Structure 1
Amino acid sequence: MLRVFSVAFWAFIVLTCPVFFAGAVLVWLVTLPFDRRRVVLHLYSSAWAAFYVYVNPLWRLRITGRDRLPWRGAAVLVANHASLIDILVLFALFRPFKWVSKQEIFRVPVIGWNMRLNGYVPVVRGSGASVRRMMDRCDRLLAAGSPLMMFPEGRRTSDGELQPFKDGAFDLAVRHDVPIFPIAVHGTRAALPRKGLILREHIRARIEVLPPLAPGDFPDAYALRDAARASIAKAL
């Protein structure tokens, strides 16, 4: 039964994404003259992604601590990563951040086109040149007042355990003196683990926005990184 439902749900996504993308192009064209940071387009994309979470009868999502996230001003948001579903549920925060995501996602038809339209940031894992370009782009976005959303583990966990964090997000926060917002994502791995596309039983996912960390309260980016990881680990 779950296999049949999974096929139907993915087919529904494939069929409706072009319709949503047509709307995204229209939003982009209308707001282009006055919305340089593409905030309206991102919020439209957030509604697009969250739609799939809320129409799925197997999924329930609860968000706590959302009021901690700013509507204005640069910040770095970091979350644990256990499932593809993480992306959908984090969009449901409805805050104007820019995603930092692996290059492969940008090559996916329609989804990748919308990511480029939004000005999200691609990175090729293992490529030093790509990482430098990503960091340069993130520097410009933070300087312009755009928050960033990053998965500091670098990839989805294979066993459900929180992996070590990479340094990039925390180097950016220290250099720009902007807060780090740790975010704990609960329950998504139960819906869709790293391998396979068959949806699992009913899940109750939860996003928990934790208290922000100020770079000035830590001696360096490494200490900030470790504090963010400890905060998420404790919440999980």
Structure 2
Amino acid sequence: MRARLYLLFLVPFTLLCSLCAVTAGFFDVSGRSGHALARFWSLWCLRVASIRLSVSGLDLVPIEGPVIYMGNHQGNFDIHALCRAIPRRFSWIAKEELFRIPLFGGAMRRAGYIPLDRSDGRKALKSMRVAAERIAAGTSVVIFPEGTRTQDGSLLPFKRGAFLLAARAGVPIVPFTINGSREINPRNRLELN
């Protein structure tokens, strides 16, 4: 029942929040409104799915200046978890394919998120330059250095681009781990377990 309710909620609510983010982007080019809408979207996706979030270690995260958040990527709910767990504005570095989804991709762009073309090294390098510029301007970024979600829950090898970005930007890396999201919503599935 919970899974059906979530799916009935997810599509129209995602469209509504995306439309609002695109519209807000015309008035707020900073991306703050778009990111605030992403946090709102995540809050309600977690609530409708009856998922409680438990976060620890926030007291160890620098409160001043930008950082690079890096961690494992278990499933789709990682996005909701991080949108709610990270208390300040940040830019996602996300696979470019997501930016091609009508309306949703526009919302991501308006929020100031950064597309990463994983199939082309030159384009990926350009994305890392954009991320370094955002960091220099004071915005933190979130990246999954594995490059994709895990199939079986094991940690995948980290790509070096995330670490090169950290070295280039000269900001701290804030590591995180996410547990349980793969069990809730595994890779390549919309249904909830």
- TM-score, normalisation: structure 1: 0.74
Matches within 5 A, 1:10-89: 10-32=7-29, 36=30, 38-57=31-50, 59-70=51-62, 72-89=64-81
Separation in structure 1 between the aligned mates of residue 27 and residue 140 of structure 2, nearest angstrom: 23
Number of matched pairs:
192
Q: What are the ranges of 5 or more consecutive residues in structure 1 without an aligned counterpart?
A: 201-236
Greater CA radius of gyration, 1 or 2?
A: 1
The answer to which structure, 1 or 2, has the higher relative contact order (CA under 8 A, 6+ apart) is 2
Provide the residue aligned with 1:109 in structure 2.
Answer: 102
Deviation track 1:95-154 (CA, whole Å, cap 9, x = no partner) reads 211000101111123321210111211112131122121111112111111111000001
Separation in structure 1 between the aligned mates of residue 182 and residue 71 of structure 2, nearest angstrom: 14
Identity of matched residues, %: 35
Separation in structure 2 between the aligned mates of residue 136 and residue 176 of structure 1, nearest angstrom: 9
Separation in structure 2 between the aligned mates of residue 66 and residue 113 of structure 1, nearest angstrom: 31
Q: Which amino acid aligns with 1:13?
A: L
- Retained in 2: the 8 A contact 1:42–1:96? yes
Tell me how far 1:30 sits from its aligned partner. Answer: 4.2
- Retained in 1: the 8 A contact 2:22–2:106? no
Provide the residue aligned with 2:155 in structure 1.
Answer: 162
2:131 to 108, 131, 138: 138
Deviation track 1:32-82 (CA, whole Å, cap 9, x = no partner) reads 4xxx3x23431232122222112222x221111224334542211001001
Separation in structure 1 between the aligned mates of residue 189 and residue 21 of structure 2, nearest angstrom: 29
Q: Which amino acid aligns with 1:169?
A: A
Structure 1 vs Structure 2 CA RMSD: 1.9
Separation in structure 1 between the aligned mates of residue 49 and residue 81 of structure 2, nearest angstrom: 12
Separation in structure 1 between the aligned mates of residue 156 and residue 134 of structure 2, nearest angstrom: 27
2:175 to 179, 182, 194: 182
- TM-score, normalisation: structure 2: 0.89
Q: What are the ranges of 5 or more consecutive residues in structure 2 without an aligned counterpart?
A: none
In structure 2, relative to structure 1, the CA distance for the partners of 1:139 and 1:158 (3 Å cut) is same
